Structure 1
Amino acid sequence: MIPRERILSVLSKYDESDVKIGTICSHSSLQIFNGARREGLRSVGIVLRENKPYYESFPRASPDIFIEVDSYGDLLSEETQEELISENVIMIPHGSFVEYVGSENILERFGVPMFGNRLTLYWEGDRRRQRKWLEDAGVPTPRIYRSPEDIDRPVIVKLHGAKGGKGYFKASSPEEFYEKFSELKERGLVGSLEDVVIEEFIVGVRFYPHFFFSPIESENIADLEGGRLELLGIDRRLEVIDEIHRGLPDLMEDFMDYTVTGNIPVIVREKYLVDLLRDAVKIISSSRRLFYPGLIGPFCMEMIYNPSRGFITFEVSTRIVAGTNLYTDGSPYSYYYYDEPMSMGRRIAREIKEAVKSGSLHKIIY
């Protein structure tokens, strides 16, 4: 793993008067580029050659500079990394970046300064490590089954990493599990039981609150013990299986798919905001204990509300999530913090800009 000291050494040579924001042209990059533009920062987009004309077509959300690549794996080349560093780029991780480049490659081979704490990739990328984090935080979680033989009720089976629901399936018995697992194996999505996590299927309403944590801003919740926590939006995810009622009987199998295809805006009853913020504080506090300096910037707690059990956290995404694309001009919650439109992309850019001003850029980079 690349030590943080090496990344900060690279950062120390940056011309902070010309810091640029960079990311892969995918996932949430349009709002990241637009947010940088709104904050007066220049941006760099790493784009597949064939996709460049489409990203150029958004005049207020295209990057100032394009770096064309044949594949996202080219980000790991010495030449591309040197180009990014020469442009004083701070990379913003998002789901496509993590999935296409690979969290292990980012940790071991990507030497460009990144916004946030890249150790979160280590803790997020493996669901077993992430479970340890959630348990340390003390937030309610679903039961995890150690063996398919233990399945005694409906479960959802998930793959590791940022796959957007691809390959997930539901099972209610060991027999059903092995039948569907074998299908995944034939498709090359898994190799062994170590590639999946078997999680209790909880009945309830799904919520995905989008948080931003700033370690350089003044404390706004006493339990945080430093730093500012903001709730900038909430979404629900539209999965293929949500449209199962539209399928004809002979198409039902095609709809048994948990791939995320879009997002829907949501607000919760106001009394629930206390629960969401309280659990977010616990997640942040635990991250500081487990991988100092802990969470920095955007993250999403993926939750289910069950009437008898309350909010249950089944996952944490430790980066900007695609659901924030709903709120490019701000959400109903962002206006409780800001008197201007504040997307998550813009909030990232502002944090970087304020860190440069205060001489604390090193506190939010790894």
Structure 2
Amino acid sequence: MISRREIHQILKGYARERITVATIGSHTALQILKGARDEGFKNLVICKKGTEEVYRQFGVADELLTVENFTQVLETEFQEGLIKRNAILIPHGSFVEYLSPARIENELKVPIFGNRAVLNWESDREKEREWLVRADLRLPREFKSPAEIDLLVIVKFPGAKGGKGYFLAGSPEEFERKIRKMKLRGKEKFTLQEYVIGTRFYPHYFYSPLTERLELLSIDIRYESNIDGLARLSSLLEDLHPVLSFVVTGNLPVVVRESLLQQVLGMGLRVVKASQELFSPGLTGPFCIETVCTEDLEFVAFEISARIVAGTNLYINGSPYSQLLYHEPMSTGRRISREIKIALKQGQQGQQGSLDKIIF
């Protein structure tokens, strides 16, 4: 992995008054760009050829760079161009999926908001589980082999693919039948996880190393195709047995019962503490614990996204929770730029190393 010292040496050469907030044109880019502009930063979006019109249409980008493939971002000349612009890259799900955690850790020398060491813990399901266990979260059962399946499981594949390829199986035989039909046998590693019945909640947190405060900014529910669409037609489809899929196609706003907020905040605090113990200095900035709330009002955590998630796009002008914390519209994208702004201000006041705390 590129060392923290090497990144901070590059950051030291940045003109603090000309910082550019940059990201890849996908996922939460519109929100990130608007948030940067709202906080007074110049912004930049890197678009794959053919997608530029989205960012021109909404008029939130100060500069637009076009690439044939997002992996061009890793080319030396391209990185040098970003560094000359004093760019700080904001990672999101598509950013991680297109560039890959390993290449971001080992090849990307452009300073990134957050702690890139988290990518290894987020992308490796065994490490992710170790992290969540350390945080004392309730987790679904996992099975080492399809032969062990004795209840309904969801079969998951690695990477931030938005649920693509996931499927359900209730027995070893059903698993074998479906994986053969999908022609996946031997192609990918997979995780067999108990399918927990309940309400899916995706709380969006932000942890600030500068203030040592955890903030609950918003919560969403994901709308998935075709499982959510089929739920409306269940009685009509009893004899058809359609193949279920779990591709995320959108997000719905939600608030939880106020009596559940203590559990939600407690999960976030424990996840931050565990991250500091496992990969110091731990989580920085936005993250999401993907959960199910059972009928017993207990949260079961099945995954973590250690970055801004797409559900935050619902709240570009803030959420019911962010409105309690801030007197102006505060999206997660804007909160990222606010953290950079706070670090720069602390540096001007003589608090050395503030920017180093949030950039790697």
- Same fold judged by TM-score > 0.5? yes
The correspondence for 1:191, drawn from 187, 192, 212, is: 187
Match of 1:311 in 2: 299
Can you list the C-alpha shifts for 1:58-108, whole angstroms capped at 9, x where unaligned? Answer: 12x2x2111110011111111111111110000000011011111111111
- The reply on whether 1:283 has 2:254 as its aligned counterpart is no
Q: Write the letter of the residue equivalent to 1:337.
A: L
Judge conservation of contact 1:243–1:255 (CA < 8 Å) in 2: no
The correspondence for 2:318, drawn from 327, 330, 333, is: 330
**In 2, Cα distance between the equivalents of 1:77 and 1:263?**
34
Match of 1:229 in 2: 214
Match of 2:50 in 1: 50
- The reply on whether 1:135 has 2:125 as its aligned counterpart is no
Match of 1:178 in 2: 176
Following superposition of structure 1 onto structure 2, how do residues 1-366 of structure 1 map, counting pairs within 5 Å?
1-59=1-59, 61=60, 63-184=61-182, 186=183, 191-192=187-188, 195-217=189-211, 227-240=212-225, 241-245=227-231, 249=237, 256-308=244-296, 310-359=298-347, 360-366=354-360
- The number of equivalent residue pairs is 351
Judge conservation of contact 1:244–1:252 (CA < 8 Å) in 2: no
Secondary structure (helix, strand or coil) at the match of 1:44 reads strand
Q: Write the letter of the residue equivalent to 2:307.
A: R
**In 2, Cα distance between the equivalents of 1:255 and 1:342?**
40
Structure 1 residue 54: Cα displacement? 2.4
Structure 1 residue 36: Cα displacement? 0.6
Question: TM-score, structure 2 length as denominator?
Answer: 0.94
**In 2, Cα distance between the equivalents of 1:337 and 1:278?**
18
Can you list the C-alpha shifts for 1:26-70, whole angstroms capped at 9, x where unaligned? Answer: 0000000000111110111101121112211112x2x21111100
Superposition RMSD on alpha carbons, in Å? 1.7
Match of 2:351 in 1: none
Structure 1 vs Structure 2: percent identity of aligned residues?
47
Can you list the C-alpha shifts for 1:172-225, whole angstroms capped at 9, x where unaligned? Answer: 0011111222234x269x615xx11100111111100000000101xxxxxxxx
Secondary structure (helix, strand or coil) at the match of 2:58 reads coil
**In 2, Cα distance between the equivalents of 1:313 and 1:246?**
26
Q: Write the letter of the residue equivalent to 2:67.
A: V
Secondary structure (helix, strand or coil) at the match of 1:57 reads helix
Gaps of 5+ in 1: 218-226
Secondary structure (helix, strand or coil) at the match of 1:2 reads coil
Structure 1 residue 163: Cα displacement? 1.0
Secondary structure (helix, strand or coil) at the match of 2:270 reads helix
**In 2, Cα distance between the equivalents of 1:280 and 1:210?**
9
Gaps of 5+ in 2: 348-353
Judge conservation of contact 1:244–1:255 (CA < 8 Å) in 2: no
**In 2, Cα distance between the equivalents of 1:53 and 1:95?**
21
Question: TM-score, structure 1 length as denominator?
Answer: 0.93
